[in-house]
């Protein structure tokens, strides 16, 4: 006795997609965990000074004259206040900082140091907000300095 009902119903389901979906999900999860979620970050262009320490410490070419450093210390005495100190000048006003930096640039230029040989080094304090560092960086840019670097916190 032959059973005809089993042979009459035939389903053509195609290839099994379950392993493909599993592999795609594993790749997706890996990429999500390995990627960075740093949206809306701004990158600052800076020429960092040569360093003898560390893995990337390239030696300057022989006969090169080192740049004249101009240190700006940025502190934050309270969460909503900042103070920048350049030499004996201490201010928390961006316009005044820009004017003082421009005056220092002019004085150094008169002394024979070109603007391309002056390097601003911004040294943040321990609890200084990123916005305050950006304001000091922009003040240095408005004062027409070409080389601006960031140091470790002091």
CB 140 within 8 A of CB 122: yes
Computed over every residue of the chain, the mean pLDDT equals 81
User: pLDDT at residue 45 above 80?
Assistant: no
User: pLDDT at residue 24 above 90?
Assistant: yes
The residue extents of the domains of the chain are 68-150
Sign of CA dihedral 59, 61, 64, 67: negative
Q: In the predicted model, what is the mean pLDDT of residues 115-132?
A: 88
Does the domain at 68-150 match CATH 3.40.50.150? Answer given as no
Strand 81-86's sheet: what is its strand order? Answer: 89-91, 81-86, 68-78, 118-124, 147-150
Residue 150, both tokens: 């960031």
116 pLDDT band (50/70/90 cuts)? confident
CB 112 within 8 A of CB 98: no
Q: In the predicted model, what is the mean pLDDT of residues 26-44?
A: 74
Sign of CA dihedral 44, 47, 52, 57: positive
* Tens-place pLDDT, residues 46-67: 566 655 565 555 666 666 667 7
């Amino acid at each position: 006795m032959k059973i005809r009902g089993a042979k009459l119903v035939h389903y053509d389901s195609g290839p099994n997609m379950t392993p493909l979906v599993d592999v795609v999900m594993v790749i997706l999860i890996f990429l999500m965990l390995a990627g960075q979620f740093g949206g809306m970050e701004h990158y600052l262009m800076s020429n960092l000074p040569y360093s003898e320490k560390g893995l990337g410490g390239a030696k300057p070419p022989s006969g090169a004259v080192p740049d004249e450093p101009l240190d700006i210390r940025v502190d934050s005495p309270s969460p909503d206040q900042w103070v920048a100190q350049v030499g004996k000048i201490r201010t928390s006003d961006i316009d005044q900082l820009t004017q003082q930096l421009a005056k220092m640039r002019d004085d150094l230029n008169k002394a024979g140091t070109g603007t391309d040989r002056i390097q601003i080094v911004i040294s943040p304090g321990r609890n200084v907000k990123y916005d305050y560092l950006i304001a000091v960086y922009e003040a240095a840019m408005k004062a027409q300095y070409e080389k601006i670097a960031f140091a470790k916190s002091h």
